Amino acid sequence: MLFRQLFDRETCTYTYLLADEESREAVLIDSVREHLDRDRGLIAELGLTLKYTLETHVHADHVTASGLLRALLGSRSAVSALGGASCADIQLTDGDTVSFGRQTLEARATPGHTSGCMTFVHHAAGMAFTGDTLLIRGCGRTDFQQGSAETLYRSVHGRILSLPDDTRLYPGHDYKGRTCTTVGEEKQHNPRLGGGKSPAEFITIMDNLKLSHPKRIHVAVPANLACGLLPGDVPVPSPEDTDWAPVVRTADGIPEVDIRWVNDSAGQHRLVDVRQPEEFTGELGHIAGAELVPLASLDAGAAQWKRDEPIVVLCRSGGRSGRAAQVLEGLGFSRVASMTGGMLAWNTAGLPRG
């Protein structure tokens, strides 16, 4: 299984990307709106198809990117049915499973920090994603969003620390640079919940934290109840209704098509590589049938092309081809798209080269 742990410095939030290496299907846990481009770019570079965005709970300190990712990539959003986010495609209940390729996550209800907290467990890999329910040497607060110290104690001991001791635990946040812990470590070293602490001792600890509310709570909670879409957001277009390709237009107005469609539809469109000649014959190689027209000479190269001819442009990772697609549309071409992720994504997916 492919696994990446990503980080937002402002809120110390972890986002997790998991993917099945054979099918290339992926899930993203606890996305952050400000990192939409980072996550989308990584998914493209690795040649993945984002199947689900999962939320461990309705966050109060950051805004999710799930709504934007759904519009841009066609992923489905999933959150606890008790979270109140009716915008989500999937309303999870305790024991539900989420599958991507050969991989499966179990959704375990672990309320206490909020009433709708979920921990996602990958039993085969020995991993659990605990959100804010259980942190490294700590836990989520219980003084708002229907929080309950008594409930959190039961959730942690009954649903998380009951997993095998060597299960790796990945939290929603860490403020000291730590990335991972284990069930065994937290049983022994967690100062709030480990070391045989009783429910009464834990409740006393939580009652005396006296924490200030998150700075972004009044923006984050309403936004996350709407899958991360903020007031004034311009709706991101869904896949366009075209007669030649499954085109998705990005928030920047770039028409894009997926690498696998490009491979499956070979010969049905003009394939134009806008890199430099040394790149075309270099380490990344090129796609069979592609013609080399460097971006700087695209205007001249396209002078004799038919304006209604289907055209797919590509480059190393999608940046130059995105600009090329916009140039061609500006010249009057009506059927043009950039190949998402470029040759990096193509090679990562193991698709054939020329």
- pLDDT reading at 121 higher than 80: yes
Q: Where are the domains of the chain?
A: 2-225, 248-348
Going by C-alpha positions, the residue among 229, 104, 108 that lies closest to residue 163 is 108
Per the prediction, the chain carries an average pLDDT of 93
Residues 133 and 112: their CA atoms lie apart, in Å, by 7
Per the DSSP assignment, residues forming a β-bridge with 135 are 138
Contacts of 198 (CB under 8 A, 6+ apart): none
Range from 78-87, 130-139, 241-250, 255-264 that averages highest in pLDDT: 130-139
Taking domain 248-348, whether its CATH number is 3.40.250.10 is answered by: yes
Q: DSSP readout, 314-325? A: E-SSSHHHHHHH
Which residues face 312 on adjacent strands? 271, 337
pLDDT of residue 254: 86
- Give percent above pLDDT 90 in the chain: 80
pLDDT of residue 242: 80
Contact 57, 132 (CB under 8 A): yes
Query: Poorest-confidence range of 67-81, 236-250, 272-286?
Result: 236-250
What's residue 278's pLDDT? Answer: 96
Tokens in use for 164? Answer: 């095998």
Kindly indicate the confidence band of residue 306, based on its pLDDT and cuts at 50, 70 and 90.
very high
Q: What is the pLDDT averaged over residues 10-39?
A: 96
Quick one: tokens of 130? Answer: 């605990």
Question: What distance in Å separates the CA atoms of residue 34 and residue 174, rounded to the nearest whole number?
Answer: 18
Residues 6+ apart with CB under 8 A from 200: none
193 contacts 156 by C-beta, under 8 angstroms: yes
Whole-number pLDDT of residue 328: 95
**Mean pLDDT (whole number) for 78-101:** 92
Q: Which value, in Å, is the radius of gyration of the alpha carbons in the chain?
A: 23
Strands 103-109 and 97-100: antiparallel
Nearest residue to 105 via CA among 55, 144, 37:
55
Token readout for 179 is 């990335």
Residue 202 reports pLDDT greater than 80: yes
The pLDDT value given to residue 248: 87
Give the pLDDT band (50/70/90) at residue 234: low
pLDDT value of residue 198: 97
CATH superfamily of 2-225: Ribonuclease Z/Hydroxyacylglutathione hydrolase-like (3.60.15.10)
pLDDT at 215: 87
Q: CA–CA separation, 352 vs 354, rounded Å?
A: 7
- Could you read off the pLDDT of 163-197 as tens digits, one per residue? 999 999 999 999 999 999 999 999 999 999 999 99
Tell me what pLDDT residue 74 has: 80
